[in-house]
Amino acid sequence: MIDPTDQNARPARSDGARKERPSRTRGRKKAAAHADMDPPSAHGRLDAALYINRELSWLEFNERVLDEARDTRHPLLERVKFLAITSSNLDEFFMIRVAAIKEQILADVYEVSPDARTPMQQIQAIHEQVEFMLAAMSACFWDDLHPKLMEAGIHLLRMNEITAQERRALADAFAREIFPVLTPLAFDPGHPFPYISNLSLSLAVVVHTPEGAVRFARVKVPDVLPRLVQVPGTDGTPYRYVWLEDLIAANLGMLFPGMTVAESYAFRVTRNADIEIQEDEAEDLIRTIEESIRMRRFGSVVRVGVQRTMPDRIKEILIENLEVNRDDVYTIVPPFGLSHLMALLRIPRPDLKDIPFVPASPFAEEETEDMFAAIRRNDILLHHPYDSFGPVVQFIRAAVRDPNVLAIKQTLYRIGKESPLVPLFIEAAENGKQVAVLVELKARFDEENNIGWAKQLERAGIHVVYGLVGLKTHAKMALVVRREPDGIRRYVHLGTGNYNPVTARIYTDVSFFTCREKITEDATEVFNYLTGYSNKDAFRKLLVAPVNLRERLGELIEREIAHAKEGRPARLFFKMNALTDTGMIEKLYAASAAGVMIDLVIRGICCLRPGLPGISETIRVFSIVGRFLEHSRVFYFENGGKSEVYLGSADLMGRNLDRRVELVFPVEDPALAAFVRREILETALTDAVRARRLQSDGTYLQPGKTVEGLDSQQTILQSRVKASAQKPPLLREPPVG
């Protein structure tokens, strides 16, 4: 087995031409759709040198996540968490993005990306950058985190690092609890090469028969068992673990009695996991998606990670039988699948974790019946996770239990495994209210959860719809219809994030409550668009994709250009997760050329190049990762001194603007708009700790310090803690002063 202290983890760069092995036929249409590319607009393609490659930009983003794992200002187990997230992100990148590019290659699709790279060139660039990322992840674990975990009393051990007594105890545990689960699979003329499912960790085992014959077998490391196996302690240290694959490798003799186990090497397979759903041909969408989920494990192989000491003859067996190329094989210094390190956060060591905090709440629990009165007085805005997600649940609870509420309508995209909202919808239906819920079954990797919730809601007699054919419904909105003394009034909650109380404590998002008539009328029209038939192409206040969002955002940018040309104040300040749409990038370049000052806070992918003379000189791009996942989308327009602020669910990506149902909504209360600008936007620009500034070459650097040591997330958190200590929760809007 490999010595984990050997840090020679950086594989050699791949040279020479890449040759793809065709494995199965793909349609051009499917490959192009899966690629999710945003080609330059037909009316005027800009020079390819003005675009950063989308996939390489994503890898830069994951490098920034890895930076958080390397940042000693985070508590130790939080750093481990970021390393686990880096690994999980990379898995998903291969399952979706790399798989999509490979689909193009197999379908002989030669269309280049906006930065003029062919699919093959993109794969080559990805391969090279991923090799260095894997080496950096390994160094982060073995050189930095592993020694510090040992110092803190958390021991992740190899089998040769435990005592003989501990090895005997583990061997007994292996025989009782692990051996019965294992199934060795031989590979020889009488046994075909075994199927290896997505993200499976396996051991390639070489055994010798008593006659001296050499045999090959595969042993799967079962994912139904914990990857970290606790060692029976003899020194009083409770947190001593060995890796499951090491324990299996040390006891392979039990699986091959009468044979000599000569060699064993770990390897891990990643497959294409982007399911294809032909909605227009599916009679039963739920059944179709359930079948697609089952098929996800059978996708084509896009990556094979192998132990660095695996000899070439074993690699050749894997390459031949998994139908991959040599460039699809990445050498790894174990452990594989660092996402499993997330299990360490269950260790009760608060001294190694972030200090917990109680989110501020503008509503007292016992005052839920007053929420509608509060919304009538003022629009209400919450900034999660600094402000509690509780009021969102309270809003629905108040609607469920208020006898004057006639109907509740809501969209659900990702709601998690344990949602407090579903029981409330069922209670509302039992109370005789009209309840309609749109459950997006196509939310990637949440399909199973959402199918389960949809079935439960349908059994309760609730109107459940699954959205529009060919479009994901990503909009976040809830509508309550209430009978009041002066007639029917509608209340809405609109948000930038999912209706998930768990992620609401991890992601930064915004919730907005209002009963403004034009906004609630628009929300009603959107629900009718989703549940019935509608050709509506205009809304009073809301910007709705794919109806008018792209057009209206373009018009608002053009308005800033006009202001700049006339010498009036002109500024754009956008915050989002990704910027890839070339049409929007062209408009931002045009605005910069006209002299509009533009600040972009983009957590993830950014295909725009800032700071190019005569093209993007006035554009600055920042990225913040930090303790919380920056998820809110904010669009600020200076508008000649009459500024406007919009919030919403959409990033500036082709899929959000054209292939999803999205909502972007105005914040019309001047105090709340000022609050958004100050706390969410301006605070980000003063971050001198977590922020990174995008350079025109696509790399990110930490900007010069404007306020010594300011961490924007920590600054907001401290302000909330201070405000909560000074003032008890009241039925009020969040502080704006």
What positions carry a catalytic annotation? 474
Residue whose structure tokens are 């294409």: 272
| Distances 129 to 17, 135, 142, 606, 629 between C-alpha atoms, Å | 17, 10, 20, 17, 24
| Cβ-based neighbours of 183, under 8 Å, separated by 6 or more | 219, 220
- Bridge partners, residue 330, by sequence: 305
Query: What is the C-alpha end-to-end distance of the chain, expressed in Å?
Result: 61
Q: Are 421 and 410 in contact (CB under 8 A)?
A: yes
Q: Which of 684, 678, 679, 681 minimizes the C-alpha distance to 703?
A: 684
DSSP assignment, residue 473? E
Can you tell me the distance from the alpha carbon of 304 to that of 319, in angstroms, rounded to the nearest whole number? Answer: 9
Q: Which of 355, 178, 194 is nearest to 250 (CA)?
A: 178
Closest to 545 (Cα-Cα) out of 667, 637, 436, 654: 654
3-state secondary structure of 489: strand
- Residue 441: burial class (beta carbons within 10 Å; 0-12, 13-18, 19+): buried
* Distances 684 to 232, 388, 681 between C-alpha atoms, Å: 48, 21, 5
Sequence-distant (≥ 6) Cβ neighbours of residue 332 within 8 angstroms: 9, 134, 138, 268, 305, 306, 307, 308
User: And the tokens for 49?
Assistant: 């040198």
Torsion of CA 377, 379, 380, 381, to 10 degrees: -160
Q: Which residues pair with 701 in a beta bridge?
A: 693
Q: HSE-up of 360 (CA within 13 Å, CB side)?
A: 27
- 586-621 in b/e burial notation, b at 16+ Cβ within 10 A? bbbbebbebebbbbbbbbbbbbbbbbeeebbebbbb
Contact present, 661 and 544 (Cβ < 8 Å): yes
User: Dihedral angle at the C-alpha atoms of 394, 399, 401, 405, nearest 10 degrees?
Assistant: 170
DSSP 511-551: EEEE--HHHHHHHHHHHHHHHS-------SS-EEETTTHHH
Nearest Cα residue to 650 out of 435, 495, 484, 503? 495
**CB contact at 8 A, 60 and 700:** yes
20 contacts 562 by C-beta, under 8 angstroms: no
